[in-house]
Amino acid sequence: MGRSPCCEKAHTNKGAWTREEDERLVAHVRAHGEGCWRSLPSAAGLLRCGKSCRLRWINYLRPDLKRGNFSRDEDELIVKLHSLLGNKWSLIAARLPGRTDNEIKNYWNTHIRRKLLGRGIDPVTHRPLTDATTGRRREHAPSR
């Protein structure tokens, strides 16, 4: 009774996108705008599912995406927003133009989280890792 499958799995490409596929997707979105992702693959002549096209556009091909390293200001803003919002990456991304939620989440887990731990700050609570009553460093549970 749920939603019908987004595509015919037997006739779809999986794995890395080719330059030609990227060009077709970009040309189609420029001509017709973002919209019905389920019908886009056949209309653009792509053997991909709609979800794959949507994610490729949002995370890699959009012209307003920022490329390259995060600035110090972006780092500070991510830490501040994470302390307020937690792991709500799409809400955090909405305040960082040109950055995707997935990119910010990955950056948090590979860089910022480790920086905070190195400074003795709990990346979940944003409080010092030392116990105020004993003055000793608390044990931090390993990440999963």
Asked if the domains 9-61 and 67-144 are classified in one and the same CATH topology, the answer is yes
Measured between alpha carbons, how far is 143 from 62 in angstroms, rounded to an integer?
A: 32
User: For every one of its 144 residues, what pLDDT tens digit does the chain have, with 9 covering 90 and above?
Assistant: 666 666 666 678 889 999 999 999 999 999 999 989 999 999 999 999 999 999 999 999 999 999 899 999 999 999 999 999 999 999 999 999 999 999 999 999 999 999 999 999 999 999 998 755 455 555 555 555
Measured between alpha carbons, how far is 86 from 36 in angstroms, rounded to an integer?
A: 31
Percent composition of the chain: helix, strand, coil (DSSP 3-state, to 5) = 50, 5, 50
Q: Are 43 and 28 in contact (CB under 8 A)?
A: yes
Could you say which DSSP state residue 116 is in?
A: H
CATH dotted code for 9-61: 1.10.10.60
CATH dotted code for 67-144: 1.10.10.60
Q: What is the pLDDT of residue 25?
A: 96
Structure tokens at 22: 């990227």
Measured between alpha carbons, how far is 7 from 14 in angstroms, rounded to an integer?
A: 12
Q: Are 104 and 96 in contact (CB under 8 A)?
A: yes
All structural domains of the chain with their residue ranges: 9-61, 67-144
For the whole prediction, is pTM greater than 0.75?
no
Q: What is the pLDDT of residue 48?
A: 94
